[in-house]
Amino acid sequence: MTVHDLGGSARLQRVLVPGDPLRRTHQSRMLWRHTGALIGSRADLLRLGALVRLAAVSPHSALYVPLRGNPRSAYAEEWRLADLVVVRTDVPLRRSAWPDVRARLRRGRSRTMDTPAPREERRPDDWRRDGRALGVTEHAETVFLAGTAEALLEAGDELTWCGNQVAVNRDIHRWGGPALLSQFVGPDRHTGPRRDTSWQCMVLAEDELFKLGRQRRRGGAESATL
């Protein structure tokens, strides 16, 4: 990770940025049509799951994942894309202040950080819905995903599960994706008295490596029969 210390006594003391960019990940904006997508390869979904869990246990940090500059697939081009910030709800980060914070992220220090392992799946009746709700806001071409520590741990676990599913998904092996694996859902559209704040974010996988591997294996089998 690259750690950018912000200094001062504010509760947001540092911004964490992956040292090795997630180049095969895309995050769309979600609020303009109340729906969006997080698109990633198997390796990136597994990494992102671990990073979201790291944000969950970092009470003075925000996780910043730059994504807008990534090479885009034909499917990703269909979306309005953004960067991603993951932060706990108890970490004060004014969205309007984000452009200034982002501009200060110039030279951080490299650091190896341990991320929480994914937890064993719990039964639905053990879940507390109020404690695992995720919130989404958008500003300055950035999607902000916020939640309690428990909510972010669960989101990270879900992304790890999605990454593991890529290896066994038939559509990805056949076509390379995109394949719908899961989704995150925000508040119901009828919960707010003034305006519709509902959103949903599909978790999709695109991974040409599995498609290419299948083609190579098929080509080898055909050669062996000649």
In this predicted model, which residue has the larger pLDDT, 217 or 170?
170
**b/e per residue 79-92 (b: at least 16 CB within 10 A):** bebbbbbbbbeebe
User: Is residue 125 scored above 70 in pLDDT?
Assistant: no
Q: Decide: 112 and 106 in contact? Cβ < 8 Å.
A: no
> pLDDT tier at 212 (50, 70, 90 boundaries)?
low
Max mean pLDDT range (59-63, 126-130, 172-176): 59-63
- The pLDDT of residue 114: 94
The secondary structure of 72-129 as a DSSP string is: --TTGGGS-EEEEEEEETTS---GGGHHHHHHT-SS-EE-----PPPPPPPPGGG--G
Mean pLDDT (the chain) is 87
Coarse DSSP helix, strand, coil percentages of the chain, rounded to the nearest 5 percent: 35, 25, 40
Whole-angstrom distance, CA of residue 185 vs CA of residue 168:
25
- The pLDDT of residue 145: 97
Q: What is the pLDDT of residues 132-166, one digit of tens each?
A: 689 999 999 999 999 999 999 999 999 999 999 99
Q: What is the pLDDT of residues 2-59, one digit of tens each?
A: 999 998 657 899 999 999 999 999 999 999 889 999 999 999 999 999 999 999 999 9
- The pLDDT of residue 46: 98
Q: Which residues contact 123 (CB under 8 A, 6 or more apart)?
A: none
Domain spans, the chain: 2-225
- The pLDDT of residue 57: 97
Max mean pLDDT range (46-55, 104-113, 217-226): 46-55
Q: Decide: 40 and 180 in contact? Cβ < 8 Å.
A: no
